[in-house]
Structure 1
Amino acid sequence: MALETEASGGTAPLDFTTFYNVIDGELVSTSETRHSVDPTTLQPNPESALSTPADVDKAIAAAKKALQSWSKVPSAERRGAVLRFSKAIQALKEDFAIMLSKEGGKPLRFAREEVDIAAGMLASLQFNELPDVVIEDSETRRVVTKYTPIGVTVGFVPWNSPLTLACLKLGPPLVTGNTVVLMPSPFTPYCGIKLVELAQRFFPPWRCSSLWFTSHPGVDAVSFTGSTATGKRVMESCSKTMASVTLELGGNDPAIICADVDIKSVVPQIVHRAFFHSGQICMAIKRLYVHASIYDEFLTELVKETRDVAMSNGDHPLTFIGPIQNSLQFERVKDLLADIAKNGYTVALGDPQTAAQKGSYYVRPVIVDNPPEKSRIVAEEQFGPVFPVLKWTDKEDVLRRANDTRQALGASVWTEEMDRAERMMGKLEAGMVWSNAHFELHPFASLGGHKESGLAVENVPNEANPVLVRKMLSLHCHVAICNFASAAHLFESNPDDIIRHVGEPVRSEQVHDGGASRNSFAESL
């Protein structure tokens, strides 16, 4: 089934009732299908294609073919195509938002925000220019670092932010001349499928869904967002072909509240960053450390603010907390609640025995009051509206406790004193650290974790971009003669000498040792 091109401006409606694979610019049906459920109602969502190894081969071959032409398109034209794609998503905002709510359980007002964020992320790439870096330009040679597309990339998209993270997997590779195969989560495939169907109007063809991609010999780079356990398996699989790997994995993010904060203004921010999307965000606050001198007052305000947030179905305009997205995660959150009840931890809000609603995936918020540091609710990433608050008195001790995790994605310090914030931020072991904020992203700042929270970084339109190959070009005006003395001289000299002699031939008599001349390394062989 042929797809519409950009001739219509890319804004023609999409059919959000049927969901096919998109391979080589065509809608492709499969012999088997599957469906997820709407987590707000537990009713089935539409059927979507279930791919086979043959589909994978076709998708990779199509991406390889498209790479030959797309990589040669001038950068300005690629950036323009990404901008038009962004505008087309925005034009279909309500359709995408409704589908996001149905497949992910996200309240409709936040689903609309996700569409805005996804489109804005793509639009920001129009400023993504990456000129060659000239290292040396002398009479004898010109040394340049050039950035070229790595090739066919595969993006694995998780179920918690299926549109935003799909755009993160699509935009940076496409704007830099790569082609992309997108793999939406089987729990939330629908927006990803329609996003790729829409993208066919602007870019080369791609898309299929299958776990065989990670070891496919035709794949040059893999970007995976998801759990640490699965990320390790993806990395192991990619090692078979040495494909470039970017992993953005789980986080057990701490937030440290200092004694000087304005409690009334800080508490609403903490609630939003801990319970947004029912806590199902990798960079949500998972552990809250509050200074002992304000602990009781802060906890009282936190309970009051959390109790006031609305939990309802997704289309209610005031809904803040929606359901857990899928049954597997729902059962895991229930298991954490059971552990809290079993160990008799003090609970400031909620009842761990009744928080999980029967016949649904809804979980009412639970705040645990100062549980042991080694308890599961502190040591594990909850990924649900269940949240520990802990006391601290000593700065070095709370930093040690905050860093005592292998899932070091984000962290934050909340204080009115900026010098203190900067000192503490420098000691926090995480890929992203904030002061008086959390989960605040910038379109040109790196997105990635530390320790077991990730490998490499995303969202970087610069030389650290994992979908670019850094290629060194050394252009010599004449035949280059290997001069080992020159290399030795550069390593032994001070920086001023290196700068002065770059591009100049170095004679053996120029290399000195203790004031005495010596022969070149080549002559000593």
Structure 2
Amino acid sequence: MAPSATNGSTAHREDNLSFTSFSQFIDGVAVKTPASRHGINPATKEDLWEVPVSGAEHLDHGVDAARKAFRSWSKTPFEQRKKAVLAYADAVEKYKEEFSTLLTTEQGKPTWQANLEVTAGYDWIRGMAGLTIPEDVVEETETKKTIVRYTPIGVVGAIIPWNFPLLLTTGKIAPALLTGNVIIVKPSPFAPYCALKLVELAQRYFPKGVVGSISGGDDIGPMMTEHPGIDKISFTGSTTTGKLVMRSASKTLKRVVLELGGNDPAIVCPDVDISRVAPMIATYAFLNSGQVCLNLKRIYIHESIYDEFLVAMTEHLKTMAVGNGLDKGIVLGPLQNSMQYDRVKTFFDDIPKEKWKVAVGGGKMENSKGYFLQPTIIDRPADDSRIVVEEPFGPIVPALSWRTEEDVIARANDTRMGLGASVWSKDL
């Protein structure tokens, strides 16, 4: 039995948008499939609503509709496209409460964090709409004028991850449409609901076929990356999958944008205000239970303050309540799905095998129904250990000490992942 979801009263709407039924949209129409599947609430392991399971024929239909829509949308004046995109942002904001509840239900993050994600989603749309498409005159003489113009590419295939399903859907839809492209959104099978509902809402503001969705399992992604009718892939997800996406897309020479994994170091200098910085480090390491590509993944603390800083960090972590994100006062929710839970759990299984010293946490959450693990800090593991080298993407983080800047910079840069990094000091 799927849970009910509120349709709270907000600003005036043309008609109500149901948050208890979910469809995929092709050529402006909700398209059913013979098969269906459902997501799982990661905090309770309860079944959620049914969603379609598509095959190649549905993707072909969606691509044909998108290519047809592209012919007219690509010629629509920029200001007209911008007006439609901004109206869409307003609509997302009107449903902020419903989207926040839905996001927590399917993804697990606390409602206050879901609220921030929804806000960032429509702010992102408006921010994109504030940009212009430049036209550069690179050379002009009496006999020749050379102008660089940026023209629409075609059909964009957007592959959405499960950790920020709403933000990253809006973050792909807005720039695609503003630049005159059309888009087909493939949600994560683990967290399909917000993305499907965003596409459904988009049908009110854009011509049919301009924004479509394709719902299914992991097999749909490779179909999209190989499809000759899709001109560009925008993918956010793991580095391993990103390599497969690039390899697959190369068969049709389609453009690819990849935003992949990170193993972000944080270097903490000896001059910091420990009482102020340690809670911030703990927060940015464990936000969304570690399921953020830009979270702090390796924390390098100067040896002169290491012990005091580690205590302050662990004490703050103990105040970060873990539980069902729909409950009040929760800071950290569950892992989003069983596959990720099982993977992160291997790092916890390594604790006794590798004889890692645990500063706080270290195991499962007792009496929890969902995919919960204790927020854990490992105290000075070896630099070549899995917890340092790999990206757990969960609530377990290594703390390491350093002595010289030359040494810590070399260690921080000793990774094949290059996404983010930070240095914490009073001295800018």
Q: SS at the partner of 1:149?
A: coil
Once the 2 structures are TM-superposed, how far is the Cα of residue 360 of structure 1 from its aligned partner?
2.4
In structure 2, what is the equivalent of residue 239 of structure 1?
Answer: 250
Amino acid at match of 1:313: N
**Counterpart in the other structure of 1:65:** 68
Q: Does 1:386 pair with 2:396?
A: yes
Structure 1 Cα separation of the partners of residues 85 and 422 of structure 2: 33
When residues 207 and 9 of structure 1 are mapped into structure 2, their CA distance, relative to the original with a 3 A threshold, is farther
Partners of 1:9 and 1:155 in 2: CA distance: 30
Number of equivalent positions: 410
Aligned to 1:459: none
CA distance in 1, matches of 2:34, 2:143: 63
Deviations 1:255-287 (A, max 9, x none): 000111111111121112111110000110000
| Cα offset, 1:9, TM superposition | 8.3
CA distance in 2, matches of 1:110, 1:290: 28
Which structure is larger by alpha-carbon Rg, 1 or 2? 1
Aligned to 2:189, the other structure's residue is in SS state: coil
Q: Name the counterpart of 2:405.
A: 395
1:133 paired to 2:136: yes
After TM superposition, list the pairs within 5 Å mapping 1:20-59 onto structure 2. Answer: 20-59=23-62
Of 265, 275, 280, 1:264 maps to 275
Q: Secondary structure at the match of 1:46?
A: strand
Match runs of 1:488-503 below 5 Å: none
Q: Give the one of 296, 307, 314 matched to 2:307.
A: 296
Residue in structure 2 matched with residue 455 of structure 1 by the alignment = none
Mean CA deviation greater in 210-219 or 354-363: 354-363
Query: In structure 1, how many angstroms separate the alpha carbons of the residues matched to 2:341 and 2:234?
Result: 26
Q: Which secondary structure state, in structure 2, belongs to the residue aligned with residue 287 of structure 1?
A: strand
Task: State the shift of 1:317 in Å.
Answer: 2.5
Residue 13 (structure 1) shift = 2.1
User: Is 2:211 the counterpart of 1:200?
Assistant: no
**What's 2:8 paired with?**
none
Q: CA deviation at 1:112?
A: 1.0
**Does the CA contact (< 8 Å) of 1:346 and 1:370 recur in 2?**
yes
1:215 maps to: 226
Note if contact 1:252-1:286 (Cα within 8 Å) is conserved in structure 2: yes
- The alpha carbon displacement at 1:358 in A equals 5.8
Give the structure-2-normalised TM-score: 0.93
Q: Which runs of 5+ in 1 are unaligned?
A: 1-7, 419-525
CA distance in structure 2 between the partners assigned to 1:91 and 1:282 by the alignment? 29
Cα gap change, 1:43/1:284 in structure 2, threshold over 3 Å: closer, same or farther? same
After the TM superposition, list the runs of 4 or more consecutive aligned residues in structure 1 that deviate by more than 6 angstroms: none
Q: Aligned AA for 1:307?
A: K
Counterpart-to-counterpart distance in 2, 1:321 and 1:244: 37
Of 372, 378, 403, which residue of structure 1 is paired with 2:382? 372
Which amino acid in structure 2 is aligned with residue 168 of structure 1? G
Q: Say which SS state the counterpart of residue 163 (structure 1) adopts.
A: helix
Indicate the SS of the match to 2:137: strand
Tell me what 1:488 maps to: none
Q: Residues 44 and 369 of structure 2 are in contact (CA less than 8 Å); yes or no, is this contact kept in structure 1?
A: no
Q: Which residue of 1 aligns with 2:113?
A: 110
Q: 1:250 aligns with which of 261, 264, 274?
A: 261
Q: Distance in 1 between matches of 2:367 and 2:314?
A: 20
What SS does the aligned partner of 1:98 have?
helix
Whole-angstrom distance in 2 between the partners of 1:236 and 1:305: 43
Please tell me whether the aligned partners of residues 356 and 364 of structure 1 are also in contact (alpha carbons under 8 angstroms). no
Contact 1:82 1:125 in 2 (8 A): no
Give ranges in structure 2 of 5+ residues lacking alignment: 1-10
Query: SS at the partner of 2:225?
Result: helix
Amino acid at match of 1:39: P
* Normalised TM-score (structure 1): 0.76
Q: Deviations over 1:105-161 (max 9, x none)?
A: 111111111110001000112211113100112211111101101110011000000
| 1:15 Cα offset (Å) | 1.2
Amino acid at match of 1:75: F
1:407, CA displacement in angstroms? 1.5
Q: What percent identity do the matched residue pairs reach?
A: 46
Query: What residue is the counterpart of 1:505 in the other structure?
Result: none
Pick from 173, 177, 186: which aligns with 2:176? 173
Matched residues in 2 for 1:93 and 1:283: separation?
25
Question: Hey, what's the Cα distance between the residues in 2 that align with 1:216 and 1:225?
Answer: 18
The residue type paired with residue 269 of structure 1 is: M
Q: Aligned equivalents of 2:145 and 2:280: distance in 1? A: 52
Q: Which residue of 1 aligns with 2:318?
A: 307
Displacement after TM superposition at 1:175 (Å): 0.5
User: Does the CA contact (< 8 Å) of 1:330 and 1:361 recur in 2?
Assistant: yes
Alpha carbons of structure 1 residues 47 and 290: separation in structure 2 relative to 1, 3 Å: same
Give the root-mean-square deviation of aligned CA atoms: 1.4
Which of residues 303, 322, 328 is equivalent to 2:339? 328
